[in-house]
Amino acid sequence: MSGPRPVPDADHETITIESNDDVVRARQLVRTLAQRCKLSLVDQTKLVTAASELARNTLVYGGGGVMRTGLVRRDSRVGVTAVFEDSGPGIPDLDLALTDGWTSGGGLGLGLSGARRLVDDFTLDTEVGRGTQVAVTKWAR
């Protein structure tokens, strides 16, 4: 789905996602980083929205987990990356989960697939019974 996974640099921040308030906190943290990295307003909003979707997925479908986020560098570009990890049930059928409009819950079924379209890099590791890890990155232009 993308090249080597960017790893948040040393001063990345980790927050636990265990309630709806944590989703809001995750969103605010990503927004702060996006502003610091000078992403355009559109890109900021896209990244924040993707983070919001993924944080909520972590909470609702993964039963809670953590988000690690920080600035990343590749060549001369700067970006913001956010990694969402849960040890929930995992995703049995990834293609289905990434289909627009399909949901195993009560949502619109656009969260995961939409988040992929909102960011530049998107990687997803999942194993049934072990959990899911989603990493997204948005690069400054």
Partner 1 sequence: MTGMREGVTSVAEQEISTRLVELLTQQRESLGAAWLENVSATLRGRISVAELDRELRELYSALVDGLRTGGFDWQGDSYAEVRALLGELSRNRARQGFSPTETAVSVLAGKEILEPTTETSAEDIQAYLRLSRLMDALGLYTLEVYAKTREEIISAQSEQLMELSTPVVKLWEGVVAVPLVGTLDSARTQVVMEKLLQTLVDTGSDQAIIDITGVPAVDTEVAQHLLKTVVAARLMGAECTISGIRPQIAQTIVALGIQFGDIVTKATLADALKHALRRNSVDLGRAGGAA
Where in 83-102 is the site for partner 1 (CB under 8 A)? 100
User: Which residue's CB is nearer to partner 1, number 44 or number 133?
Assistant: 44
User: Which residue's CB is nearer to partner 1, number 46 or number 137?
Assistant: 46
- Binding mask 32-71 vs partner 1 (x if CB under 8 A, - otherwise)? ---------xx-xxx-xx--xx--x---------------
Strand order in the sheet with 65-74: 13-17, 65-74, 77-86, 131-139, 121-127
- Applying CB under 8 A, what is the total number of residues that bind partner 1? 24
The token duo for 20 is 């709806």
CB-CB neighbours of 64 under 10 Å: 15
Question: How many helical (H) and strand (E) elements, i.e. helices and strands, does the chain have?
Answer: 4, 5
Residues 72 and 47: beta-carbon distance below 8 Å:
no
Residue that is written with structure tokens 């790893």 in the block:
7
For position 140 contacting partner 1 by CB under 8 A, the verdict is no
Sites of contact with partner 1 (CB under 8 A): 20, 24, 27, 31, 41-42, 44-46, 48-49, 52-53, 56, 100, 107-108, 110-111, 113-115, 117-118
